[in-house]
Amino acid sequence: MGMIRLRWWLVLWVLWGLALPVHALDLRLPDFGDPSAQHLGPREEARLGAEVMRQIRERGTILEDVQLTEYLNSIGQRIAAHASSGHPYTFYWIDSAQVNAFAAPGGYIGIHTGLLLSTRNEAELAGVVAHEIAHVAQRHIVRRFADARQQQFSVAAALLASAALAAASGEAGQAAMASTFAASAQQRLNFTRSHEQEADRVGQRLLEQAGFDPKGMVSFFAYLARTAGEAGSQIPDYLRTHPRPETRMADLSGRRVDAEAAFTSSPAYYLAKTRARVLTTANTQRLITQFRETLASGDYDDELAQRYGYALALHRAGHYAQASEQIERLLRQHPNHLALLIEQAELALSMGDLQRAWALFDRMSQSYPDHFAVAMHHGRALLNQGLADEALAVFAPYLRRRPQDLNLYERYAQAAQLAGRRLTLHAAMAEYHYISGDLDQAIEHAERGLRQQGSSHERAQLQARLRQLRQIRERS
DSSP for 285-311, please give it.
HHHHHHHHHHHHHT--S-HHHHHHHHH
Provide, rounded to the nearest whole percent, the portion of the chain with pLDDT above 70. Answer: 72
Most confident of 15-29, 144-158, 225-239: 225-239
Q: Are residues 175 and 69 in the same domain?
A: yes
- Pairing state of beta strands 101-104 and 108-112? antiparallel
- Residues 262-275, mean pLDDT to the nearest whole number: 93
Give the pLDDT band of residue 56 (cuts 50, 70, 90).
confident
pLDDT of residue 199: 83
Give the pLDDT band of residue 191 (cuts 50, 70, 90).
very low
pLDDT of residue 13: 37
141 or 164: which carries more pLDDT confidence?
141
With respect to residue 227, please indicate whether it lies within any of the assigned structural domains.
yes
Q: Are residues 218 and 289 in the same domain?
A: no
Q: Are residues 286 and 239 in the same domain?
A: no
Q: Tens digits of per-residue pLDDT, 303-350? A: 999 999 999 999 999 999 999 999 999 999 999 999 999 999 999 999
pLDDT of residue 311: 98
pLDDT of residue 197: 80
| Contact partners, residue 254, CB within 8 Å, separation at least 6 | none
Q: Are residues 164 and 216 in the same domain?
A: yes
- Residues 399-407, mean pLDDT to the nearest whole number: 92
Cα(429)–Cα(470) distance, rounded to whole angstroms?
16
Average confidence score pLDDT of the chain: 81
Domain that holds residue 129: 2-252
- Whether residue 31 is predicted with pLDDT greater than 50 in this model: the reply is no
- Whether residue 422 is predicted with pLDDT greater than 70 in this model: the reply is yes
Q: Which CATH number belongs to the domain containing residue 311 in this structure?
A: 1.25.40.10
With respect to residue 330, please indicate whether it lies within any of the assigned structural domains.
yes
- Which residues sit opposite 7 in a β-bridge? none
Q: Are residues 15 and 134 in the same domain?
A: yes
223-253 burial: b if 16+ Cβ within 10 Å, else e:
ebbeeeeeeeeeebbbbbbbbebeebbebbe
Q: Which of 66, 39, 53 is nearest to 140 (CA)?
A: 39
Most confident of 178-187, 218-227, 238-247, 372-381: 372-381
Residue 177, number of CB atoms within 10 A of its CB: 20
The size of the chain, in residues, is 476
Q: Are residues 292 and 339 in the same domain?
A: yes
Last residue of a domain, one of 312, 343, 367: 367
163 or 219: which carries more pLDDT confidence?
219
Name the packing angle between helices 388-395 and 406-419 (round to 10°). 150
173 or 380: which carries more pLDDT confidence?
380
State CA 162 to chain mean position distance. Answer: 18
- Which residues sit opposite 111 in a β-bridge? 93, 101
Q: Are residues 43 and 177 in the same domain?
A: yes
Give the pLDDT band of residue 152 (cuts 50, 70, 90).
very low
Q: Are residues 245 and 289 in the same domain?
A: no
Q: Are residues 308 and 246 in the same domain?
A: no
Cα(353)–Cα(428) distance, rounded to whole angstroms?
31
The predicted model scores a pTM of 0.82
291 or 227: which carries more pLDDT confidence?
291
User: For the chain, how many structural domains are there in total?
Assistant: 2
With respect to residue 372, please indicate whether it lies within any of the assigned structural domains.
no
Cα(243)–Cα(287) distance, rounded to whole angstroms?
36
pLDDT of residue 12: 40
Q: Are residues 294 and 172 in the same domain?
A: no
List, as one string, the DSSP characters of 103-125. EETTTEEEEEHHHHHH-SSHHHH
Cα(228)–Cα(234) distance, rounded to whole angstroms?
7
With respect to residue 464, please indicate whether it lies within any of the assigned structural domains.
no
Q: Tens digits of per-residue pLDDT, 57-82? A: 877 889 999 999 999 999 999 999 99
With respect to residue 319, please indicate whether it lies within any of the assigned structural domains.
yes
391-424 burial: b if 16+ Cβ within 10 Å, else e:
bbebbeebeeebeebbbbbebbbbbbbbbebbbb
- Whether residue 20 is predicted with pLDDT greater than 70 in this model: the reply is no
pLDDT of residue 151: 44
Cα(413)–Cα(65) distance, rounded to whole angstroms?
18
- Whether residue 360 is predicted with pLDDT greater than 70 in this model: the reply is yes
Last residue of a domain, one of 367, 401, 433: 367
Q: Are residues 98 and 225 in the same domain?
A: yes
- Whether residue 176 is predicted with pLDDT greater than 80 in this model: the reply is no
The answer to whether 405 touches 90, Cβ cutoff 8 Å, is no
pLDDT of residue 242: 61
Cα(100)–Cα(464) distance, rounded to whole angstroms?
42
With respect to residue 456, please indicate whether it lies within any of the assigned structural domains.
no
227 or 391: which carries more pLDDT confidence?
391
With respect to residue 96, please indicate whether it lies within any of the assigned structural domains.
yes
Q: Are residues 344 and 231 in the same domain?
A: no
Cα(448)–Cα(162) distance, rounded to whole angstroms?
32
Q: Tens digits of per-residue pLDDT, 92-127? A: 999 999 888 888 888 899 999 999 999 999 999 999
With respect to residue 217, please indicate whether it lies within any of the assigned structural domains.
yes
Last residue of a domain, one of 325, 351, 367: 367
